[in-house]
Every structure is written in structure tokens, then in C-alpha cells.
């Protein structure tokens, strides 16, 4: 769903109070696309605030500008005030307002502001006035690049702005392992020609784990991994007690699910965690297995064909049982 670029040009032709929003548990794509679009819109004379429902993981702290994010969980009143005053919302890297929790309601209540959605998830919901969405894009950051190109302002994609775009692309593609396309590599080449230090960024993002995170990974693979060879499914789960014992904080479990998929015989991987109020599922698959369908049909969720998530209000053991009951149906 992609509206014509000519429709957004008049919206951006005079200074606006812009609020950029992205999703809970923000990843590199949410953070990178928000910061890149903030820089771009500020360069055109707009006033921009970035809001996230929850905090960002420590391993993105090196990104310039990341400390200016307003976090709704920490400062709800300030965030709501800014949302009320906004006359343009730019929603990045999510496809329905319930993905930003209470912020979604606040956005819906601001009836006069223009709503713009830029995203690469399947099935965007019809809440926006302008859609710059394409589920064939690797990442929202790829769409940010395409957008600036279509606006005739590709020259702005350099320095820190290019670093932000690259961050979203490598986190969402697992360093070019999945969801790539030929244009994406052309974009990377152009950024590299303009001085992108990709090795530094790869190190900042992927070789930036704490000892605790590595030990937690060891625990997950050593003690919490269940593999059903016959069904080609691998599962890791973490209980509330595990969260206490390891003092698990936001971001500490990032990427654990990718290790399950490294097993030769595993085609579908699940990472199921008991959070304070919900049980959260992360789902990944190889090839033509749709975890989006599994998340949508049984776990109130969605996302991408090969990477989705969902949640349930139920005890951990019930969620795990339900997962084993249904997951096999999605293996081809």
C-alpha cells in the first residue's frame, strides 16, 4: 500500500509539529528509522519529537540523538502533552495503533493531525491519511532511503543519517541473511561510496553484548531448548523465575531466537517468555513456513512471513502447550 509521493509534498511544505512514533520494545529498525526521519524533517524546517512506548536496549546507546527519545512508560504526561499538540504523526515500523499501546489511543484522539504510516509489515491497518508502506522492503529504514530518493533528496543520506538507515537494515535482515533484494545492495553501495563505516556499525550492534547476556544465551541453549526433530521445531522458554535469577532487563534476550534457527533440522523456532503481564512469543521460520499465520491465528499477533510475534494472557505452561498443539500445522 503506497500512496503517490506527490500527496505528501504539500503536507511537508510548511513547518509542522511532528511526532514520530515507533513500537514497543524498539529494535534497530524502529530506532534507526525514527532518528533518520527526525534528521530529515528537521532539515526541512519542521519541529520533531520522537516517542517510544518503552525504553530502547543499551546496545543502541552509541547512536547519536538516541537520548532525546521520549519514553511513554517513563514520562506519560509529557508524552501525552506532545501528542495532543502535534499536527503530524509519522508512524514508523508498525502497522496498527495497538502496537503502541496507550499512545495509540492518544494518537487516535487527535483528530485534526495528519497521520502518515511508513512501514514494511504485512497488512497495514486503515488508520492513516498517507501510506508509504511496502511489505517487500527489508526494513522501514529501506523505505526511509527510498522515500528521500523519491523526494529528490538522496544527497542528505550521509554521515549519521546513513548510519541510522544502515542500523535498521542490518538489524532487520540479520546482517543481510534474509529479506534482502537487489536494490538494497545498491543502496548500501551508494552509502559506502559516501563514507559509511559499516565495520564500525556491525561491531557496535552485534559485538556489543554484556557477559550476562552471553551467559543467559548459554543457559537458554543448555537448559531451556526443546527440539522436536520430527516436527522440525525448536523452542526456548524463560519463566518468571528465570527473569529474576538472571535479572533480565530489556534487550537482554534480543537475538536468542536466531540461535535456535541455526540448528540444521529446525524450520520453525519459538522463543516464549513470561513477562510481568503477558506471555510473549517470538517466532521465526525458514523458507515457505508462515509464522505470521501462526501468530495471527493463535497468538493475537502478526509481523512478517518469516518473523512474527504475539502474546497471550495465560500461564506460561498453557502457552507452550498451545504452541505445540498448533505449530506443526504450519510446517510444509
Question: Does residue 251 touch ligand 5GP according to CB under 6 A?
Answer: no
CA 291 to chain centre: 16
Question: Does residue 29 touch Mn ion according to CB under 5 A?
Answer: yes
Question: Does residue 307 touch ligand 5GP according to CB under 6 A?
Answer: yes
- The pattern of x and - marking residues 228 through 267 that bind Mn ion according to CB under 5 A reads ----------------------------------------
Contacts to Mn ion from residues 59-98, by CB under 5 A: 93
Question: Does residue 234 touch ligand 5GP according to CB under 6 A?
Answer: no
How many chain residues bind Mn ion (CB under 5 A)?
5
DSSP code of residue 295: H
- C-alpha span between 225 and 28 (Å, rounded): 26
Among Mn ion, ligand 5GP, none, partner that 29 touches (CB below 5 to 8 angstroms by kind) = Mn ion
Question: Does residue 57 touch ligand 5GP according to CB under 6 A?
Answer: no
Question: Does residue 304 touch ligand 5GP according to CB under 6 A?
Answer: yes
**Binding window for ligand 5GP (CB under 6 A); candidates: 45-53, 201-209, 299-307, 323-331:** 299-307
Strand order in the sheet with 114-119: 70-71, 47-52, 17-21, 88-92, 114-119, 130-133
Q: 176 CB contacts (<8 Å, ≥6 apart)?
A: 170, 184
Contacts 24+ apart (CB under 8 A), 152-159: 153/40, 154/190, 156/39, 156/40, 156/43, 157/190, 157/191, 157/194, 158/191, 158/194, 158/195, 159/195
Question: Which of 79, 307 has the CB closer to ligand 5GP?
Answer: 307
DSSP assignment of 64-100 equals TTGGG-EETTT-HHHHHHHHHH-SEEEEES-SSGGGG
Question: Does residue 290 touch ligand 5GP according to CB under 6 A?
Answer: no
Q: Which of 272, 305, 303 is nearest to 96 (CA)?
A: 303
CB of 81 to ligand 5GP, least distance (A): 27
- C-alpha span between 36 and 287 (Å, rounded): 31
CB of 167 to Mn ion, least distance (A): 11
- Which grid coordinates are listed for 122? 504485512
Contacts to ligand 5GP from residues 120-159, by CB under 6 A: 121
Q: Which of 239, 156, 238, 170 is nearest to 204 (CA)?
A: 170
- The pattern of x and - marking residues 113 through 142 that bind Mn ion according to CB under 5 A reads --------------------------xx--
CB of 57 to Mn ion, least distance (A): 15
CB of 300 to ligand 5GP, least distance (A): 6
Give me the count of residues in the chain.
332
Q: For binding to ligand 5GP (CB under 6 A), which residues are involved?
A: 121, 282, 301-304, 307-311
Q: For binding to Mn ion (CB under 5 A), which residues are involved?
A: 29, 93, 139-140, 172
Amino acid at each position: 500500500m503506497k500512496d503517490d509521493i506527490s500527496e505528501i509534498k504539500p503536507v511537508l511544505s510548511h513547518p509542522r509539529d511532528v511526532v514520530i512514533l515507533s513500537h514497543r520494545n524498539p529494535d534497530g529498525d524502529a530506532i534507526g528509522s525514527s532518528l533518520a526521519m527526525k534528521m530529515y524533517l528537521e532539515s526541512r524546517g519542521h519541529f520533531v519529537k520522537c516517542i517510544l512506548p518503552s525504553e530502547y536496549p543499551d546496545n543502541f546507546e552509541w547512536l547519536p540523538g538516541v537520548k532525546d527519545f521520549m519514553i511513554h512508560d517513563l514520562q506519560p504526561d509529557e508524552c501525552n502533552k506532545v501528542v495532543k499538540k502535534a499536527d503530524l504523526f509519522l508512524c514508523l515500523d508498525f502497522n496498527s495503533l495497538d502496537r503502541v499501546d496507550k499512545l495509540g489511543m492518544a494518537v487516535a484522539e487527535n483528530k485534526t493531525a495528519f497521520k502518515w504510516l511508513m512501514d514494511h509489515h504485512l497488512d497495514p491497518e486503515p488508520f492513516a491519511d498517507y501510506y508509504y508502506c511496502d511489505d517487500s522492503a527489508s526494513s522501514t529504514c529501506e523505505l526511509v532511503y527510498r522515500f528521500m530518493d523519491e523526494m529528490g533528496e538522496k544527497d542528505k543520506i550521509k554521515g549519521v543519517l546513513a548510519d541510522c538507515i544502515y542500523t535498521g537494515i542490518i538489524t532487520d535482515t540479520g546482517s543481510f541473511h534474509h529479506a534482502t533484494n537487489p536494490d538494497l545492495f545498491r543502496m548500501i553501495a551508494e552509502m559506502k561510496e559516501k563514507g559509511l563505516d559499516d565495520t564500525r556499525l556491525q561491531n557496535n550492534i552485534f559485538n556489543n553484548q554484556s557477559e550476562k547476556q552471553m551467559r543467559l544465551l548459554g543457559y537458554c541453549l543448555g537448559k531451556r531448548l526443546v527440539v522436536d526433530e520430527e516436527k522440525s521445531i525448536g523452542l526456548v522458554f524463560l519463566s518468571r523465575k528465570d527473569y529474576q535469577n538472571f535479572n533480565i532487563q530489556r534487550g537482554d534476550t534480543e537475538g536468542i531466537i536466531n540461535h535456535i534457527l541455526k540448528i540444521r533440522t529446525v524450520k520453525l523456532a519459538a522463543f516464549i517468555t513470561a513477562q510481568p503481564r503477558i506471555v510473549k512469543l517470538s517466532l521465526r521460520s525458514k523458507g515457505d513456513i508462515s509464522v505470521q499465520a501462526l501468530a495471527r491465528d493463535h497468538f493475537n499477533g502478526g509481523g512478517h512471513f518469516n518473523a512474527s510475534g504475539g502474546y497471550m494472557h495465560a500461564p506460561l505452561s498453557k502457552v507452550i502447550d498451545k504452541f505445540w498443539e498448533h505449530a506443526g500445522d504450519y510446517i510444509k
